[in-house]
Amino acid sequence: MVDSKQIIKKIIEIEDKINKLSLEKKEELKIKEELKIIKTDFKIGLLSLAEYRADEILKKLKEMEEKTNKKITIEKSNLKEEFKKENGERKEKNILNTIKVSEAMGKAEIVDEKTPVQEIIKKFLDKKYKGIFVSKKNKIVGLIKLSNLFEILGEEREISKLKAEDIMGEIISIDKQDNLSKAILIMKMHNSDCLAVMDGNRFLGVVTREKILNKIAKNLFSKKTPVNEKIETNVDRLLDILKKGETSMKELEEKLDVDGEQIEEWLKILENQKVIKIERHFGKIRLKYVR
């Protein structure tokens, strides 16, 4: 005797597989039409026929599912091999020495020397700047970092009366022609997250640890092939996830849809370039910016 509950279960399974599989429109419509026939057979009591047709569709969908999984496995394998092939030589080369500061710099936030400190605090909160430069008569004369703000808060000074010129510190600069390796070294020496980029006496912009990090990640996978474009996107996403705080390899695999071995490969490259440092503790991963 045909079990009606089993037929219903198979109908639900078919619908589920249709939603999960990326079928071509023509094929999807065809299977949905066949599913309508099965439901009609079921309603009018042709249970044996309904079950037979359901089994045939499930068999067809299972074959499609196996082909799709096999294709994904092959694509991942090819991605890994092409990645190793195209980036093998670059792993050993410290590209920090080959990129000029001017290639990684961005637009700086500048305020007048008379800007109230309360307004500057709001800028730090709204935009999460690494530093805000201070100008006097169109000339950059100082830099305000978060540490400067913490100092005045610790001194319990009356913030409402303070201006940018009262709390600014010295400008830490680098020439636009210097490389990123030198930029990181200067940041380490001065315990600073940002540097003023200069062309002689002319102020051009700012370079930060984050801008260096993003530039290195993109440069490692700069050759525009379908493989590298996909890698570059995933590396950007990887860095975004790490910046948000503690994570795990399992979480990275799920969010990036890439196996752990490939993720480890990317992390190793970025660490070898001394762009990032990874802390591992009881299966958890945390990003530490280098030097």
Per-residue pLDDT tens digits for 150-185:
787 777 678 888 999 998 988 989 999 999 888 888
Task: Please list the helix, strand and coil fractions of the chain in percent, rounded to the nearest 5, in that order.
Answer: 60, 15, 20
Structure tokens given for 27: 């094929």
Second-level CATH architecture of 221-289:
Orthogonal Bundle (1.10)
Average pLDDT, whole number, for the chain?
79
Task: Specify the DSSP class assigned to residue 232.
Answer: H
Closest by alpha carbon to 236, among 251, 221, 246, 226?
A: 221
Q: How far apart are CA 174 and CA 69, in angstroms?
A: 51
CB within 8 Å of 45: residues ≥ 6 apart: none
Beta strands at 194-199 and 173-175: parallel, antiparallel or unpaired: parallel
The most distant pair of C-alpha atoms in the chain lies apart, rounded to whole Å, by 94
Phi/psi of residue 139, nearest 5 degrees: -125, 135
What's the CATH code, domain 101-212? 3.10.580.10
Look at residue 4 in the predicted model and tell me its pLDDT. 80
Phi/psi of residue 144, nearest 5 degrees: -110, 125
Classify residue 156 as left (phi > 0), alpha (psi -120 to 50) or beta.
left
Q: Using one digit for the tens of pLDDT, what is the confidence trace for 173-218?
A: 999 999 988 888 888 878 888 899 999 989 999 999 888 888 877 7
CB within 8 Å of 287: residues ≥ 6 apart: 239, 242, 243, 276, 277, 278, 279
Q: Decide if pLDDT at 267 tops 50.
A: yes
Q: Using one digit for the tens of pLDDT, what is the confidence trace for 53-110?
A: 888 888 888 888 777 776 666 656 665 665 555 554 444 456 778 889 999 999 999 9
Domain boundary assignment for the chain:
4-79, 101-212, 221-289
Look at residue 141 in the predicted model and tell me its pLDDT. 93
CB within 8 Å of 195: residues ≥ 6 apart: 101, 172, 173, 174, 183, 186, 187, 206, 207, 208
β-partners of residue 199 are 202
Q: How far apart are CA 130 and CA 9, in angstroms?
A: 58
* pTM, rounded to two decimals: 0.48
Evaluate whether 101-212 and 221-289 have a shared fold: no
